[in-house]
């Protein structure tokens, strides 16, 4: 079969000194760090939607990128050519996983039965490609935000028929995820939220969203899905208020509705900053609750207030991300590049360049995070910072052996109360800089 990206050869590791734009400078898949190969530490995934479907359109202008991949006009021929392009792309970059929405694979038909038939047909072809290449599915999801029927949400819609249609879409997307052996299934609640309380019953809507998730778990387990379900928190955009605002809110929601055993979180960098948090904060909150499942590894632009989905280039952020992932013992999911080329970067080579940038950024982040952990000064400082809880009254507090009365007696006998030890933030920041930049 003729190649689609014929002008681009397999991308090889050439080391930091290389000036070849089509080479990895830091991602060396077989290099072992902290006991595992980089490839195992970094289960990279291609996002079908941005890589194979997004053509550069924005609110002010039409498409700039040609993603026809040589297809003749026709619905299924283009769907097939995207599969060919995607697998060639992943193979050339050495990417082991992909993620998809149902509607990324094929365009929806007017009749859901026809849509499902298209999905069945195309997924047979995807399986064939997976068998030939060893590439796997990281997670699947249903697009429940683009179609006009979801203008007021899917699980949170005011229309019971729309709710039922969303359920049918989730059922099919779960069938596909299981068929493709996906590790996870994502709920990104794009339109599960509201614009104004003048027309919205929040409690009612949240109960319905939770019920849709419960039915998804019941069905998924019935058809043999043993992976994790994920919520991908995001505070806003497209809605003003989204129900899965951030990690803490989503964990509270999952616990409130008894979903915490089946769900983890898919943390997206750009969503974290939109919620007013750092990426590391969101990863940390998920991790300390045992709910860090997977990562959407893009990045935002702090000067812009929306989800710009840029390829990650910030080594500091990637380091702190990998620091959290290493401390969590790795990911059961992976690192999905939910990122798109800038509108003016419209060539096939730009597509490769973007993934090289993202993969190298995370490889560097991994190397630096391992160095930070091995250096030990941060861990040591944090441990020392809480040392007053290791003995005496502190140890009793930690063992929950005190009462307010006992602590009041203790306080009344204090001769003086010293300031807590210095936080030494600047020192710690300089430790990080010295590890990052030598
Ligand atoms: C949008 C989300 C979306 C999810 C999948 O902001 O990031 O792309 O990852 O529906
Ligand atoms: Ni996003
Ligand atoms: Ni995402």
Q: Is the CB of 296 under 6 A from ligand 1?
A: yes
Catalytic residues: 101, 104
Determine the pLDDT at residue 438: 86
State how far the alpha carbon of 369 is from the alpha carbons of 122, 266, 280, in Å: 40, 20, 12
Q: Is the CB of 139 under 6 A from ligand 1?
A: no
What is the C-alpha separation between 146 and 307, in angstroms, rounded? 16
Q: Which of 154, 338, 339 to mutate to test the pocket of ligand 1 (most atoms within 8 A of CB)?
A: 338
What would the pLDDT profile of 130-150 be if each residue is shown by its tens digit? 999 999 999 999 999 999 999
What is the C-alpha separation between 267 and 50, in angstroms, rounded? 18
| CA 82 / ligand 2 centre spacing (Å) | 22
**Nearest alpha carbon, ligand 1 atom 3:** 188
Which atom of ligand 1 is nearest the CA belonging to 234?
A: 6
| CA 375 / ligand 1 centre spacing (Å) | 36
Q: Is the CB of 268 under 6 A from ligand 1?
A: yes
Asked if residue 364 has a cis previous peptide bond (ω within 30° of 0), the answer is: no
Q: Is the CB of 25 under 6 A from ligand 1?
A: no
| Nearest alpha-carbon partner for 299 in 277, 320, 285, 314 | 314
**Nearest alpha carbon, ligand 1 atom 6:** 307
Q: Is the CB of 82 under 6 A from ligand 1?
A: no
Q: Is the CB of 234 under 6 A from ligand 1?
A: yes
Q: Is the distance from CB of 33 to CB of 41 less than 8 angstroms?
A: yes
Which atom of ligand 1 is nearest the CA belonging to 145?
A: 10
| CA 20 / ligand 3 centre spacing (Å) | 30
Determine the pLDDT at residue 142: 98
What is the C-alpha separation between 360 and 362, in angstroms, rounded? 5
Q: Which of 45, 232, 340 to mutate to test the pocket of ligand 1 (most atoms within 8 A of CB)?
A: 232
Phi and psi based region of residue 318 (left: phi greater than 0; alpha: psi -120 to 50; beta: remaining):
alpha
| CA 134 / ligand 2 centre spacing (Å) | 28
Phi, psi (degrees; rounded to nearest 5) at 177:
-60, -40
Q: Is the CB of 341 under 6 A from ligand 1?
A: no
Q: Is the distance from CB of 310 to CB of 303 less than 8 angstroms?
A: no
Determine the pLDDT at residue 73: 81
Q: Which residues of 272-283 are buried (b: 16+ CB within 10 A; e: fewer)?
A: bbbbebebbbbb
pTM as predicted: 0.97
Determine the pLDDT at residue 334: 98
pLDDT tens, residue order, the chain (438 aa): 799 999 999 999 999 999 999 999 999 999 999 999 999 999 999 999 999 999 999 999 999 999 999 998 888 999 999 999 999 999 999 999 999 999 999 999 999 999 999 999 999 999 999 999 999 999 999 999 999 999 999 999 999 999 999 999 999 999 999 999 999 999 999 899 999 999 999 999 999 999 999 999 999 999 999 999 999 999 999 999 999 999 999 999 999 999 999 999 999 999 999 999 999 999 999 999 999 999 999 999 999 989 999 999 999 999 999 999 999 999 999 999 999 999 999 999 999 999 999 999 999 999 999 999 999 999 999 999 999 999 999 999 999 999 999 999 999 999 999 999 999 999 999 999 999 998
| Nearest alpha-carbon partner for 335 in 133, 46, 93, 65 | 46
Residues 6+ apart with CB under 8 A from 428: 377, 378, 381
**Nearest alpha carbon, ligand 1 atom 5:** 188
């Amino acid at each position: 079969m003729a190649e689609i990206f014929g002008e681009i050869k397999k991308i090889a590791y050439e080391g930091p000194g290389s000036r070849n734009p089509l080479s990895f400078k830091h991602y060396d898949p077989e290099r072992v760090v902290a006991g595992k190969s980089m490839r195992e530490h970094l289960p990279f995934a291609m996002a079908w939607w941005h890589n194979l479907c997004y053509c550069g359109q924005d609110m002010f202008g039409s498409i700039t990128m040609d993603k026809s991949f040589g297809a003749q006009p026709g619905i299924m021929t283009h769907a097939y050519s995207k599969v060919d392009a995607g697998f060639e792309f992943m193979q050339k970059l050495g990417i082991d996983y992909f993620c998809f929405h149902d509607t990324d694979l094929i365009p929806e038909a007017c009749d859901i039965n026809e849509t499902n038939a298209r999905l069945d047909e195309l997924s047979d072809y995807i399986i064939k490609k997976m068998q030939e290449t060893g590439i796997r599915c990281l997670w699947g999801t249903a697009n429940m935000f683009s179609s006009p029927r979801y203008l007021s949400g899917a699980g949170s819609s005011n229309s019971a028929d729309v709710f039922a249609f969303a359920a049918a879409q989730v059922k099919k997307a779960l069938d596909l995820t299981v068929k493709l052996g996906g590790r996870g299934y994502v709920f990104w609640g794009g339109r599960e939220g509201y614009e104004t309380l003048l027309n919205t019953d929040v409690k009612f809507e949240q109960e319905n969203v939770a019920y849709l998730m419960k039915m998804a778990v019941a069905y998924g387990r019935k058809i043999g899905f043993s992976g994790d379900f994920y919520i991908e928190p995001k505070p806003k955009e497209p809605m003003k208020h989204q129900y899965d605002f951030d990690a803490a809110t989503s964990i509270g929601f999952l616990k409130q509705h008894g979903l915490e055993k089946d769900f983890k979180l898919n943390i997206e960098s750009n969503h974290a900053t939109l919620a007013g948090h750092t990426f590391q904060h969101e990863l940390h909150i998920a991790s300390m609750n045992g709910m860090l499942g997977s990562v959407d590894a893009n990045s935002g632009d702090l000067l812009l207030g929306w989800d710009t989905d840029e390829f990650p280039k910030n080594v500091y952020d990637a380091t702190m991300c990998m620091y959290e992932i290493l401390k969590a013992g790795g990911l059961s999911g992976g690192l999905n590049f939910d990122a798109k080329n800038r509108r003016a970067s419209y060539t096939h080579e730009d597509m490769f360049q973007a993934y090289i940038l993202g993969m190298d950024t995370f490889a560097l982040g991994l190397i630096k995070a391992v160095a930070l952990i091995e250096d030990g000064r941060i861990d040591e400082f944090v441990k020392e910072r809480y040392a007053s809880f290791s003995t005496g009254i502190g140890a009793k507090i930690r063992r929950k052996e005190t009462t307010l009365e006992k602590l009041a007696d203790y306080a009344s006998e204090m001769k003086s109360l010293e300031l807590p030890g210095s936080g030494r933030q600047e020192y710690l920041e300089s430790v990080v800089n010295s590890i990052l930049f030598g």
